[in-house]
Copies of this chain bind each other. A is one copy, B any other.
């Protein structure tokens, strides 16, 4: 009995270390003899443990050398293709599928691979409830009064303090709170553009941003984008004369999940400043890095106040709270004026509660857990895709965030897949909603912010089966 228990515990422990990346591909495992001595188990039990792990494809033996961590099978999946959008701006209506996909938001009968937010079970809801109760007690007037126009001071202070982690050096006076990050983007675009202006974006791009741009009468210029390094700087350079404003999501962009290298960030910031093109930087996923290091932001290379850095807790803490912010650089006055006109105030209680939550160490603790869940999910999803999706399926290599981009062979239409999947209570985001051009019909985005379970694995396998049937 005890032996069995120990056997399982040791095997699981090693498996976890491999899955979570503590043990990396190619690393050597202890010898059978060492494992046996370390845990006080027999040589035979130690052998059985290694054989079991080998059976799960987690390790492999090399003759005369011992056992090594296998490269995960998903790393053998080919990488998604770099996009090649047409270099002509347009403002045609987004694909109508977009509204269909979003209308499933909040439906509890569906497995929502389609909505790019962390599931409630991955969020610190009990702790947040307490903060809200405290906030109603702390605020004079119980939070019924308008906030100061620039927003809750605690929250602004904490956003400023946390900016040190990404190379920013903000003070609270440089930050304006907003109703979530989308509201920050709305204010930025309204401040900087007028109808007919051209907005440069990554491609594929978050559908909400495409819709927003079109609704403001802007022309959208989609720029070629690499799934590892992000927007193609040479492509951007060639199109500069047409561009009024540039909006990028350099850290763990949805749907691709890449992290733009620092040197690219620096170059883009200086290039745009030189051409007097403001850069709106959406950093709402920045805290969701799979690696140990919080990446820098474009804003950290901003010498001219030309970068409007936007963030929120919608992807890390509570989508339903609508708490976001912007550090608008030299455009602060215009942003505050528009905030006054368009929303006057954020929700006082919720902003106070989030400000307090960030002030304690609870946010960092939560982020650590959430990041681990997302990292593991990515690996789990990818492993299933490797085993159950059509041959030649390609995927992105997210380095953080909530999205995995799946590229099927050309002839698999994810618009059709969307309809079939819905019949199995599965919702996905088809690739065509991430562009205003004729691209990505064979791609889809999967949200990896759902809690891992056997049922979720089953749903993913069903998706794979459907896709194969569409071949």
Within 8 A of B (CB), among A337-354: 337-338, 340-350
Partner of A105, one of B142, B148, B318, B348: B148
Within 8 A of B (CB), among A138-188: 140-149, 179-180, 182-183, 186
Q: A217–B144 Cα gap in the complex (Å)?
A: 32
Partner of A125, one of B144, B190, B343: B144
Q: A117–B147 Cα gap in the complex (Å)?
A: 13
User: Does A43 count as interface, using CB distance less than 8 angstroms?
Assistant: no
A176 smallest CB distance to B (angstroms): 13
List 10 additional contacts besides A125-B141, A141-B320; criterion CB under 8 Å: A103-B149, A105-B149, A106-B147, A128-B142, A143-B318, A144-B319, A146-B320, A183-B342, A183-B343, A194-B217
Beta-carbon contact of A340 and B211 below 8 Å: yes
Q: A128–B123 Cα gap in the complex (Å)?
A: 25
The 4 closest A-B pairs by CB, nearest first: A120-B141, A125-B142, A320-B348, A144-B318
- Can you tell how many copies of this chain the complex includes? 2
User: Does A133 count as interface, using CB distance less than 8 angstroms?
Assistant: yes
**Inter-chain contacts of A115 with B (CB < 8 A):** 146
User: Does A137 count as interface, using CB distance less than 8 angstroms?
Assistant: yes
Q: List 28 A-B contacts (CB under 8 A).
A: A99-B337, A99-B340, A103-B149, A106-B146, A117-B145, A123-B141, A125-B141, A125-B144, A132-B132, A132-B133, A133-B133, A133-B136, A144-B320, A145-B318, A145-B319, A147-B320, A182-B343, A208-B340, A211-B341, A319-B344, A320-B347, A320-B349, A321-B349, A322-B343, A322-B344, A322-B346, A322-B347, A349-B350
User: Does A195 count as interface, using CB distance less than 8 angstroms?
Assistant: yes
Within 8 A of B (CB), among A344-369: 344-350
Contacts known (A320-B347, A347-B322, A349-B320); A136 close to B145, Cβ less than 8 A: no
User: Does A419 count as interface, using CB distance less than 8 angstroms?
Assistant: no
| Nearest B residue (CB) for A131 | B136
A179 smallest CB distance to B (angstroms): 6
A44 smallest CB distance to B (angstroms): 48
Beta-carbon contact of B132 and A144 below 8 Å: no
User: Does A212 count as interface, using CB distance less than 8 angstroms?
Assistant: yes
Within 8 A of B (CB), among A298-352: 317-322, 337-338, 340-350
Beta-carbon contact of A319 and B342 below 8 Å: no
User: Does A276 count as interface, using CB distance less than 8 angstroms?
Assistant: no
User: Does A215 count as interface, using CB distance less than 8 angstroms?
Assistant: yes
Partner of A343, one of B126, B145, B179: B179
| Nearest B residue (CB) for A333 | B99
| Nearest B residue (CB) for A117 | B146
**Inter-chain contacts of A347 with B (CB < 8 A):** 320-322, 347, 350
Contacts known (A142-B125, A145-B120, A146-B117); A190 close to B208, Cβ less than 8 A: no
User: Does A452 count as interface, using CB distance less than 8 angstroms?
Assistant: no
**Inter-chain contacts of A105 with B (CB < 8 A):** 146, 148-149
| Nearest B residue (CB) for A181 | B344
User: Does A129 count as interface, using CB distance less than 8 angstroms?
Assistant: yes
Q: A337–B217 Cα gap in the complex (Å)?
A: 15
**Inter-chain contacts of A126 with B (CB < 8 A):** 142
Beta-carbon contact of A102 and B194 below 8 Å: no
Beta-carbon contact of A120 and B103 below 8 Å: no
Beta-carbon contact of A140 and B117 below 8 Å: no
Q: Which of A126, A136, A137, A144 has the most CB of B within 10 A?
A: A144
Within 8 A of B (CB), among A386-410: none
Interface flags, A185-215, vs B, CB<8A=1, else 0: 0100010001100000000000010011001
A248 smallest CB distance to B (angstroms): 19
| Nearest B residue (CB) for A212 | B341
Q: A375–B347 Cα gap in the complex (Å)?
A: 29
| Nearest B residue (CB) for A130 | B136
A41 smallest CB distance to B (angstroms): 43
Beta-carbon contact of B338 and A215 below 8 Å: yes
Q: A345–B105 Cα gap in the complex (Å)?
A: 10
Q: A212–B343 Cα gap in the complex (Å)?
A: 10
Beta-carbon contact of A322 and B345 below 8 Å: yes
A100 smallest CB distance to B (angstroms): 12
Beta-carbon contact of A342 and B144 below 8 Å: no
A451 smallest CB distance to B (angstroms): 12
**Inter-chain contacts of A145 with B (CB < 8 A):** 106, 117, 120, 318-320
